[in-house]
Structure 1
Amino acid sequence: MESFDYDLIVIGAGSGGTRAARISAGYGAKTAVVEVDRPGGTCVLRGCVPKKLLIYGSEFSKNVEDAIGYSWEVGDIKPNWFDLIAKKNKELDRLHEIYKNLIINSGCDLHYGYGKLISKNKVLVTYNNKEKVISAKKIMIAVGGKSNFPNFAGNEFMINSDKALDLEKLPKSIIIYGSGYIAVEFAGIFSGFGVDTSLVFRSEYVLRGFDIDIRKRLTEQMKASGIRIFPNNSIECINEIGNKYLIKISNNETLESDLVMGATGRSPNTKDLGLEAIGLKLGKNGEILVNNYNQSNVSSIYAIGDVTNKINLTPVAIAEGHAFADREFGGIDRFISYEDVPCAVFSQPPVSIVGISKNSALEKGIKVTEYISEFNPLKNTITGKVEKTLMKLIVDQNNKVIGAHMLGEHAPEIIQGIAIAIKAGATKDNFDETIGIHPTAAEEFVTMK
């Protein structure tokens, strides 16, 4: 019988990989983690957490406007970007140490270096020009995704979200190419910090795939906030002229900006892992194809998270990693559900959804009733601000609530609670019978008629 160094090798110390490794180790599996950078992964170090911190910082400009509307006398204030980035990085260092200690204290061996598969059970780890080979009965790939830019002249002048999180100073102007969650979130960040912000994208409205009314309202509200919107456009080329960039877009207009950011999507980070050489099958976008056990066509190799391109959300990767450990080493035959997974876009204002939209339901042949509430929140009445909240419930023929959508302040916090109700199979009657908390925006979900 062939012997191995480990029961499990996890390549990638992000949220999903770390969970898989430490729970497996807790079940007694001899486990190794291979990480090319720092434990923590995209979400903790280059995504959700640092981005949310900058969103918090950028929102204070709007809070000041609201304060003036509520008769606060506000003096001259301005952001200190350099200081904020330093504080953000200090927090990321703290979180990195937590992740590193979670791995080590759970009994895993942590190998720093680039991990590449050289057989179905062996990983070549390269670090500082030194190589070593480690082996395991099972190998988990949890290396996440990476930014994906379209191919056009001058695309090398675009920065990605990783670099946008660590700019040494704020530009006076920025053009962001894209309409997905990364694009709209960073548009809100830069605009909130006083940067002249433009958004160029190929569709008519931002957030393709979301509820159409949510998309329309958010696009309108971003425009009203001062963000310049260039829908139905693509970037054809970028030229560097001195300290500026000239960006030609498909309507033949040429825009000028200090900085250009690409946010046109992400792709699975499967290049140079040695996967094809060992016969592992990939999908059309480079994702690792897995079954319900997160197992690839090579029986000893598994994958979780963004590298599988299923639902690219950190909580999903964590759930996949935990379920994998339960099944493979804990004797618990447990699987996660990919239905009714809530998500949020931390735009300004934010969007959050769970379940299905009316259009998606109709495309699937499901007859539904759509309940809608749109209103200007009480908070805005004194300030004169007009930024309407939009809320929807989607109800099927059996009176079951199968979707909830919200655009407005605190949407992610509110939808998280609604997601529990939908997951539990709540009906519209259950919502109607629930007494609302007044005065709140959330009470609209139990008063819609």
Structure 2
Amino acid sequence: MSDFDYDLFVIGGGSGGVRAARVAAAETGAKVALAEEDRYGGTCVIRGCVPKKLMVFASGYGALADEARAYGWDMQDGAFDWAAFHTRLNAELDRLEGVYRRLLANAGVETFDARARLKDAHTVALSTGQEVTAKHILIATGGRPVRPDLPNAGLGIVSDDIFHLETLPKSILIVGGGYIACEFACILNGLGVEVTQYYRGAQILRGFDDEARGLVAEMMHEKGVNLHLGTNIVEMASATEDHVLSHAGTGSDAAMGGAAIKGSGDSARKGPIWVKSTNGTEKVFDVVMFATGRDPNTQGMGLHEAGIELGRRGEIVVDGYSQTAVPSVYAIGDVTNRVNLTPVAIREGMAFVETVFKGNPTPVDHDLIASAIFTQPEMGTVGLSEEDAREQEAIEVYCTSFRPMQSAFADRPDRVLMKLVVSKSSRKVLGCHIVAPNAGELIQLAGIAVKMGATKEDFDRTVAVHPTMAEELVTMRRAMRSG
């Protein structure tokens, strides 16, 4: 008989934690429990990937009527109904949370709707007052959005709050230049909100290929996002009536209203908000949203006291097998701040089960992971950017940018980019970068080839599918740059 209540106790009911818990229980017969203090499904399902992608879909329909008319359809512009969409969105999230709960129950995992903290290497204390023991503990508590250190920053919202807006604002200021900031700038712009974006850096989407992110920024401008680079907030405050009247027509509808937020812990917060920026402008916005970074969810969990090493941002430090400094405790997903993507957390959870419960030590492979940014147009990327590849070795760059057939016929300015970064010596494709509608779908398939070590000549030998945008990936014969 075991000396512990459970073979495995998982803290966190997101995608990684749920996958590890149910696979360990269903496939190895382990006695497993899981604690989640909020909603099952975690950031991705409840307040991230899934609702965001549904909002991406919703925001894309606004431009369809105009394009359809170019193709001969007698189609009229319509209005977006946030209340109708929001109701359906919440119903879908409820359904998905139910799916996660049923998956755990069907696998025999015992669940606790409670906050959990470590008491020691084998003991978990729950907010219900219970204490349980486990041979192994897996921490999968994810991350959380953070606000900048700025007076009155509490007047603004963060990405989690977007899904709780009872009404869409007429105007919004988004602060930040990462993928979350850019995605929501495009989404809200597509839904008819007047969007202004401040980013303190020289170009959005830092860390991604320069040419690709430059085209995304250009297209965001083209579609109506008021993007200000090298710009940040100096001051912000609740707007007075004088503020609103003096800035009428420059970011607010001149009504002392704003957008109410429900269910996020900030239900009383309303706009409008007066903002002074580093470029000297003053403006009133209905809502200010901070997308200025995320930190691992490790606060108040007793980790340091239990002997677990934490990094500079509070992330749990783990080895290649997701094991912490305490041998019985492992951690996966965003709480480790390695590669913060849902499929990566799931892979890490599967590798954990292989290692600990199936006797098959399996390190996590974080190399050549494809990803997508759901801006409009989307960006898909795998491997090295041109800039990073140049620092590593001599390369050739094959790229083309053009108006795709669908846009060109409708006389729309949308452009796409197809780009391959190739090693001169090995001829391997070191990086692939796509900016185009449905780039996420395209990069998934290109990612297989790059992960397999395909060479430029392998791409060249592949017959094109015509007429498509993606055929350019296999028809580019002349390097545009080398060095």
Q: Which of the five TM-score ranges fits, normalised by the shorter chain?
A: over 0.9
What corresponds to 1:318 in structure 2?
Answer: 346
What corresponds to 1:434 in structure 2?
Answer: 462
Where do residues 230-241 of structure 1 align in structure 2 (5 Å cutoff)?
230-241=228-239
Deviates more, 1:353-362 or 1:325-334: 325-334
What corresponds to 1:387 in structure 2?
Answer: 414
Q: Partners in 1 of 2:280 and 2:148 — Cα distance?
A: 18
Letter in 2 for 1:135: T
**What per-residue deviation string (whole Å, max 9, x for no partner) do you get for residues 116-142 of structure 1?**
11111111111xxx3100110110000
Q: Partners in 1 of 2:279 and 2:152 — Cα distance?
A: 18
Q: In the alignment, is the contact (CA less than 8 A) between 1:176 and 1:187 conserved in 2?
A: yes
**Is residue 2:47 matched to residue 1:46?**
yes
Alignment partner of 1:131: what SS?
coil
**Is residue 2:284 matched to residue 1:256?**
yes
**Stretches of structure 2 lacking an aligned partner (at least 5 in a row):** 241-255, 257-271, 478-483
What corresponds to 1:220 in structure 2?
Answer: 218
**Is residue 2:405 matched to residue 1:378?**
yes
CA RMSD in angstroms, aligned pairs only: 1.1
**Is residue 2:160 matched to residue 1:132?**
no
Alpha-carbon offset, residue 153 of structure 1: 1.1
Alignment partner of 1:88: what SS?
helix
Alpha-carbon offset, residue 2 of structure 1: 7.9
Q: Partners in 2 of 1:118 and 1:412 — Cα distance?
A: 42
Letter in 1 for 2:21: A
Q: In the alignment, is the contact (CA less than 8 A) between 1:153 and 1:236 conserved in 2?
A: no
Q: In the alignment, is the contact (CA less than 8 A) between 1:32 and 1:108 conserved in 2?
A: yes
What corresponds to 1:274 in structure 2?
Answer: 302
2:393 to 344, 366, 388: 366
Q: In the alignment, is the contact (CA less than 8 A) between 1:155 and 1:237 conserved in 2?
A: no
What corresponds to 1:37 in structure 2?
Answer: 38
Q: Partners in 1 of 2:109 and 2:386 — Cα distance?
A: 47
Q: Partners in 2 of 1:181 and 1:265 — Cα distance?
A: 10
Q: In the alignment, is the contact (CA less than 8 A) between 2:320 and 2:364 conserved in 1?
A: no
Q: Partners in 2 of 1:195 and 1:2 — Cα distance?
A: 58
Alpha-carbon offset, residue 336 of structure 1: 2.7
Q: Partners in 2 of 1:180 and 1:81 — Cα distance?
A: 25
**What per-residue deviation string (whole Å, max 9, x for no partner) do you get for residues 135-184 of structure 1?**
10110000000001210111101111111112111110000001111101
Letter in 2 for 1:375: F
Q: Partners in 2 of 1:321 and 1:241 — Cα distance?
A: 47
**What per-residue deviation string (whole Å, max 9, x for no partner) do you get for residues 333-361 of structure 1?**
22231110000000011001000111101
Deviates more, 1:142-151 or 1:323-332: 323-332
Alignment partner of 1:7: what SS?
strand
Letter in 2 for 1:448: M
Where do residues 139-288 of structure 1 align in structure 2 (5 Å cutoff)?
139-242=137-240, 243=256, 244-288=272-316
Where do residues 69-80 of structure 1 align in structure 2 (5 Å cutoff)?
69-80=70-81
Where do residues 111-130 of structure 1 align in structure 2 (5 Å cutoff)?
111-126=112-127, 130=128
Q: In the alignment, is the contact (CA less than 8 A) between 1:158 and 1:261 conserved in 2?
A: yes
**Stretches of structure 1 lacking an aligned partner (at least 5 in a row):** none
What corresponds to 2:381 in structure 1?
Answer: 353
2:440 to 412, 437, 440: 412
What corresponds to 2:103 in structure 1?
Answer: 102
Q: Partners in 1 of 2:213 and 2:382 — Cα distance?
A: 15
Q: Partners in 2 of 1:196 and 1:293 — Cα distance?
A: 46
Letter in 2 for 1:46: R
Q: Percent identity?
A: 42
Q: In the alignment, is the contact (CA less than 8 A) between 1:144 and 1:306 conserved in 2?
A: yes
Q: In the alignment, is the contact (CA less than 8 A) between 1:202 and 1:231 conserved in 2?
A: yes
Q: Partners in 1 of 2:205 and 2:139 — Cα distance?
A: 29
Alignment partner of 1:123: what SS?
strand
Q: In the alignment, is the contact (CA less than 8 A) between 1:178 and 1:262 conserved in 2?
A: yes
Q: Partners in 1 of 2:199 and 2:460 — Cα distance?
A: 40
Letter in 2 for 1:21: A
Q: In the alignment, is the contact (CA less than 8 A) between 1:361 and 1:368 conserved in 2?
A: yes
Letter in 1 for 2:51: P
- What is the aligned length? 445
Letter in 2 for 1:9: F
**What per-residue deviation string (whole Å, max 9, x for no partner) do you get for residues 4-50 of structure 1?**
10011000010000011011112111100001012111100110000
Deviates more, 1:35-44 or 1:326-335: 326-335
Q: Partners in 2 of 1:132 and 1:418 — Cα distance?
A: 49
Letter in 1 for 2:353: A
Alignment partner of 1:430: what SS?
helix
Alpha-carbon offset, residue 75 of structure 1: 2.5
Q: Partners in 2 of 1:169 and 1:345 — Cα distance?
A: 26
**What per-residue deviation string (whole Å, max 9, x for no partner) do you get for residues 40-96 of structure 1?**
111001100000001100100122221122222222411110010110111111110
Alpha-carbon offset, residue 421 of structure 1: 0.5
TM-score by length of 2: 0.91
Q: Partners in 2 of 1:345 and 1:145 — Cα distance?
A: 19
Q: Partners in 2 of 1:2 and 1:22 — Cα distance?
A: 20
Q: Partners in 2 of 1:276 and 1:135 — Cα distance?
A: 19
Alpha-carbon offset, residue 277 of structure 1: 1.3
Alpha-carbon offset, residue 413 of structure 1: 0.6
Q: Partners in 2 of 1:57 and 1:76 — Cα distance?
A: 14
Q: Partners in 2 of 1:75 and 1:66 — Cα distance?
A: 11
Deviates more, 1:110-119 or 1:243-252: 243-252
Alpha-carbon offset, residue 251 of structure 1: 1.7
Letter in 1 for 2:25: A
What corresponds to 1:17 in structure 2?
Answer: 17
Alignment partner of 2:368: what SS?
coil
Q: In the alignment, is the contact (CA less than 8 A) between 2:65 and 2:77 conserved in 1?
A: no
Q: Partners in 1 of 2:429 and 2:299 — Cα distance?
A: 42
